[in-house]
Amino acid sequence: MLSTFGDSLALLTSVEAILTLILGTMLGIILGALPGIGSTVAVAIILPFTLGMSQAPAVLLLLAVYAGSVYGGSISAILINTPGTPQSAATTFDGYPMAQRGEAGRALGWATMASVAGGIVSVLLLILAAPQLARLALNFGPIETFGLLLLGLTCIVAVSSGDMIKGLIAGALGLLLAMVGGDPITGTPRFTFGDFRLIAGFDLLAIVIGVFALSEVLLRVSEKLSGTAEFVSFKGIVLPRLAEWKGRLKGLAKSIALGCGIGVLPGTGAATAAFVSYAEARRSSPNSGNFGKGEPDGIIASEGANNAVTGGALVPTMALGIPGDAVTAVMLATLTLHGITPGVRLMQDNPTLIGAIFAGLMVINLLLLPLGMLASAMAAPLLRMREAFMLTAITLLCFVGVYFVRGNPFDLWVMVAAGISGFILRRQGFPMAPLVIGMVLGPTLEMTLRQGLIITNGSFGAFFASPIAATLIVIAIATLCWPLLSAARGRFRSRRGA
Amino acid sequence: MTALFERAGVTLALFLASGAMMASIGWRDTTGMPPAFSPEFFPRIVLSVLLVLTALGLALELARKGGSSGGQILRAAVLAAAMVAFAWAMTRLGFFLTGAGFSVLALLLLGLRNPLVIGAFALGVPGALVGLFNHVLIMPLPTSPFSHMF
Amino acid sequence: MISRSISTGLMGAVAAAGLCLTAQTAQAGEFPERAINLIVPFNAGGGTDLLIRGFAPHFAEAIGGQAFVSNMAGGAGTVAASALAGQRADGYQLGYFSITIATIQPQIREVPYGLDSWTPVCAVAASPTMFFVAADSPFQSMDDVVTAVRDNPGQYLYGSSGPGAITHLSMVAAFEGLGLSDHVRHLPFQGSGPAMQGMAAGTIQFFGDTELLMQGGDLRPLMVFNAERLEHLPDLPTAREVGVQAPLDELYLWGGLFAPAGLDQAVRDQLSEACRVATESDGFREFADRTGTVLRYMDADTFDAFYREAFGAASTLIEASGL
């Protein structure tokens, strides 16, 4: 055991490995922060370079870019209200309001600390309990996943406190957008209106970039430009003081637990984890009244959860040889290429390599702190650019990023259309976050609902036969109905009062 | 009046669009397929919800007064048109030419007048991106019909 | 900032000019004048993507030029095929299409390409598919499966990575070929990962894919859709031995390079020859071994005939699968 550990460390302490970790993490942070270039594109950019490397550095490079990009997405989410990756969308809810208040540095500080904590705890969990967790996840069939996603949907209520109806409309629109394309069960095209280019459906990132980044550009252009003022006031990360964590640690622990748990389940992912965690934090946080107005608890919930997914997603990958998401699938394939057979025996057969991967992940997560500060320091002068340059550069980057998501020129049209529609909707006070939530959760929600119906031979009642699913569904319905009821009661009261 | 027109117009458009989509798949299931195998099963649920919500929203908009309108709408509209042109031209003229053209237009629109500054940005930023992706990473952006170098 | 933009711009311009010169002096007028684009119709990191990324350097060496891989994902591969079908056939853009993209999808979907949209260049791989059950499953042979399914109609589920995928078609071939397609139900998943989770959890009992899948999960193969038994698995019966009727008893996940229709004959043969050299190179063979891919090279004419026959044969499968 100890000698294995020594060998693992030896793999990590080579100059090649250390450079790989630092450069990979930095590159991941930068790519993740650029609007449009999500984790998958970041990994795609880096993949060709891993082919010529030896085993451990190749896998570590991918992991570093992956973890770095998940964190990097939060930088642009907070500073320019544009989630660099879909999983950072929930970070914009409170991160950007803080930045607008001139507290961008503090917002990034919270995001960084939550990310590092989430990443490290999830790696520890991966090291200590991967086989047990993987077994546990097997209890989560389509029906239980459906319950979980329904709970995730209630996040729509949580993020549309301003105007509930408009938030719900945006959420339903997101679900609708996700349906365009081939039906997941039968393959029949839906809402394609005979245009074959729609068969592949709308790409999530193209829509996210459109409704967040391009519509933001259009909104700013439609307002009176400040000729000289900074884009946002930002001088670098300000880490939260120890005393400020008081009362927030419970929320952090809960969001990390949610992130780990959801990461372990196949086919859900970091964006789902961030949304579910945000909804839960808003329900239970002592500061829930400030959510959406720049509340650190909201940033902690989103960033703690989405970084915890990185370790969680590796649990089924390492313990069962089943990839937890698209990025871990790439990693499994890379292992295969380097002559390692992924699968149930992976951990027993290659203890040295796995040890190095675990230790490397630890280092990567620790590196997020200094490298995140470095990347933010680099971003700070960019943000002092005049707004005109900033807006033009963001637009150019959006086109580049979305072009690379899946190499499909049609996605550019989708992005522009989403941008213009997003502009029109946002002018009328429709929040865009629920739309993204609907689009992220929609496909899997529908899939698991219909899978469940196939398994139970078409019985809706059978969904409640599973205790896990029944509990989740009941909580979801309660969460969904409660604010509606209280809002109706409030309106009734105020009308009687007036 | 224009404010109300814009507010209610958006919600009305959403209401009509969801009605039209519902009509395109039929208001109720006539195939008799079990829900799990019917592609229209889930869309019908979501569209019904959307119809109810937009109808409610429309009623609220009509009852409410005031609202924001105006701003530099023309400027945003021109930039939106430029984005559409970008999407059209990027695969035809290549990223560099399109990006440079868009940058010039966007910067002029946003009030910049110094030709040197505009030129430097419009050539520099798209040029750097093309250099990086096409020639360093070999992950080419679309190139122009004139040269496969940019 | 502005000065920085200018300097980066200038550097880019200088670098671009430099590359321009070297490219032109290399070989003028001769194919290939510039880099050849190998289009992978799926996201980066999938099995197909890695195979082509491993193939590209050997192919580039054999053709005496540059080759790069690009991904165009979506619509089960039809997005890339549709885009390529509309391109000029100059030999600089080649797509790597599998059985499902080339022969199945155009017959079940409205896509802007069909049988005659392509100049087949070469076949690279053809892996036989297998019938899997979980390693802890009570089924030890196909006889067990047939008996159990016949005695409990409607109780057993087979999984797939999505409708119309090779994982779906192999199960259709198995149960249709055994006359049991009315007795089992199909449960599609969003990709092979979730399906394998379903297999481990016991939600589904049967799954079909190539041997590559066996490396990952705890699976037991019960038959192989190959003409004869596999050398390294001599105890595994072929589908025909089990009783699967022709033409459903052989099903390969094959893939090859395609150019748009109307490619110049000389260029086609040059590409096809380079493809042969690359496919037979030691480096790529070793690479394919590690990814569990069975290489099977065919030259342009052989592949053309094979492709046309496969296109016709696909209709049996399509009819049986109800797609």
Enumerate the β-bridge partners of residue C131.
Answer: C208, C223
Q: What pLDDT band is residue C21 in, cutting at 50, 70 and 90?
A: very low
Q: What pLDDT band is residue A487 in, cutting at 50, 70 and 90?
A: low
Q: Each residue of B13-63: pLDDT tens digit?
A: 999 999 999 998 888 777 777 888 888 899 999 999 999 999 999 998 888
Cβ of C323 and A187 within 8 Å?
yes
Q: Each residue of B72-131: pLDDT tens digit?
A: 788 899 999 999 999 999 989 999 999 999 999 999 998 888 999 999 999 999 999 999
Q: What pLDDT band is residue C123 in, cutting at 50, 70 and 90?
A: very high
- As a whole number, mean pLDDT of residues A231-237 equals 76
On whether any CB of chain C is under 8 Å from the CB of A137, the answer is yes
Q: Model's pTM, two decimal places?
A: 0.84
Supply the pLDDT for residue C143. 94
Distance CA A27, CA A21 (A): 10
On whether any CB of chain A is under 8 Å from the CB of B4, the answer is no
Q: Each residue of A171-189: pLDDT tens digit?
A: 999 999 999 988 888 888 8
Mean of the per-residue pLDDT values of chain C: 85
Is it the case that residue C25 has pLDDT exceeding 70?
A: no
Is it the case that residue A305 has pLDDT exceeding 90?
A: yes
ipTM of the complex: 0.93
**What is the three-class DSSP state of C186?**
strand
**What is the three-class DSSP state of C128?**
strand
- Exposure string for A279-302, b = 16+ CB within 10 A, e = fewer: bbbbbebebbebbbebbbbbbbbb
Q: In sequence order, which residues have a C-beta less than 8 Å from that of residue A330 and are 6 or more positions away? A: A43, A47, A62, C44, C45
- As a whole number, mean pLDDT of residues C249-269 equals 93
Residues of chain C found within 8 Å of residue A197, distances taken between Cβ atoms: 79, 82
SS3 of chain A: CHHHHHHHHHHHCCHHHHHHHHHHHHHHHHHHHCCCCCHHHHHHHHHHHHCCCCHHHHHHHHHHHHHHHHHHHHHHHHHHCCCCCHHHHHHHHHHHHHHHCCCHHHHHHHHHHHHHHHHHHHHHHHHHHHHHHHHHHCCCCHHHHHHHHHHHHCHHHHHCCCCHHHHHHHHHHHHHHHHCEECCCCCCEECCCCCHHHCCCCCHHHHHHHHHHHHHHHHHHHCCCCCCCCCCCCCCCCCCCHHHHCCCHHHHHHHHHHHHHHHHCCCCCHHHHHHHHHHHHHHHCCCHHHCCCCCHHHHHHHHHHHHHHHHHHHHHHHHHCCCCCHHHHHHHHHHHHCCCCCCCCHHHHCHHHHHHHHHHHHHHHHHHHHHHHHHHHHHHHHHCCCHHHHHHHHHHHHHHHHHHHHCCCHHHHHHHHHHHHHHHHHHCCCCCHHHHHHHHHHHHHHHHHHHHHHHCCCCCHHHHHCHHHHHHHHHHHHHHHHHHHHHHHHHHHHHHHC
Q: What pLDDT band is residue B1 in, cutting at 50, 70 and 90?
A: low
- CATH architecture under which domain C128-242 falls: 3-Layer(aba) Sandwich (3.40)
Residues of chain B found within 8 Å of residue C19, distances taken between Cβ atoms: 135, 149
Cα of C4 vs its chain's centroid, Å? 46
Q: What pLDDT band is residue C12 in, cutting at 50, 70 and 90?
A: very low
Cβ of C290 and A336 within 8 Å?
yes
Q: In sequence order, which residues have a C-beta less than 8 Å from that of residue C10 and are 6 or more positions away? A: B124
Residues 105-144 of B with CB under 8 A from C: 117, 120-121, 123-125, 127-128, 130-132, 135, 138-140
Distance CA A157, CA A340 (A): 46
- The residue ranges of every structural domain in chain C are 35-127+252-321, 128-242
Q: Each residue of A280-289: pLDDT tens digit?
A: 888 788 887 8
Supply the pLDDT for residue B69. 56
- As a whole number, mean pLDDT of residues A299-305 equals 93
Supply the pLDDT for residue A228. 47
The residue of chain C nearest to residue B129, with distances taken between CA atoms, is C12
Q: What pLDDT band is residue A271 in, cutting at 50, 70 and 90?
A: confident
Number of C-beta neighbours around residue B53 at 10 A: 24
The residue of chain C nearest to residue A324, with distances taken between CA atoms, is C193
Distance CA A449, CA A464 (A): 13
8 Å CB contact between C217 and A322: yes
Residues of chain B found within 8 Å of residue C67, distances taken between Cβ atoms: none
Residues of chain B found within 8 Å of residue A193, distances taken between Cβ atoms: 24
**What is the three-class DSSP state of C208?**
strand
Residues of chain C found within 8 Å of residue A409, distances taken between Cβ atoms: 83
- As a whole number, mean pLDDT of residues C35-55 equals 85
Residues of chain B found within 8 Å of residue A388, distances taken between Cβ atoms: 106-107, 110-112
Number of C-beta neighbours around residue A18 at 10 A: 15
- Tell me the count of A-B CB pairs closer than 8 A: 162
Q: In sequence order, which residues have a C-beta less than 8 Å from that of residue A248 and are 6 or more positions away? A: A296, A297, A300
Is it the case that residue C27 has pLDDT exceeding 50?
A: no
Q: Each residue of C305-319: pLDDT tens digit?
A: 999 998 988 888 888
Q: Each residue of A86-116: pLDDT tens digit?
A: 888 889 889 988 988 889 999 999 999 999 9
Q: What pLDDT band is residue A477 in, cutting at 50, 70 and 90?
A: confident
Q: Is it true that the peptide bond before C32 is cis, omega within 30 degrees of 0?
A: yes
Distance CA A170, CA B50 (A): 9
Supply the pLDDT for residue A267. 64
Distance CA C22, CA B131 (A): 16
The residue of chain B nearest to residue A179, with distances taken between CA atoms, is B43
Cβ of A412 and B87 within 8 Å?
yes
Number of C-beta neighbours around residue B146 at 10 A: 10
- As a whole number, mean pLDDT of residues C110-117 equals 89
Q: What pLDDT band is residue A494 in, cutting at 50, 70 and 90?
A: low
Q: Each residue of A6-27: pLDDT tens digit?
A: 777 777 778 888 888 999 999 9
CATH classification of C35-127+252-321 is 3.40.366.30, yes or no?
A: no
The amino acid occupying position C240 is: R
Nearest CB among A175, A387, A430 relative to B46 is that of: A175
Cβ of B131 and C5 within 8 Å?
no
Is it the case that residue C3 has pLDDT exceeding 60?
A: no
Is it the case that residue A371 has pLDDT exceeding 50?
A: yes
Residues of chain C found within 8 Å of residue A382, distances taken between Cβ atoms: 1
Nearest CB among C16, C20, C68 relative to B131 is that of: C16
Distance CA C176, CA C225 (A): 13
Give C194→chain A minimum CA distance, Å: 6
The rounded percent of chain A whose pLDDT value lies above 90 is 23
Between B85 and B149, residue with greater pLDDT:
B85
Supply the pLDDT for residue A460. 84
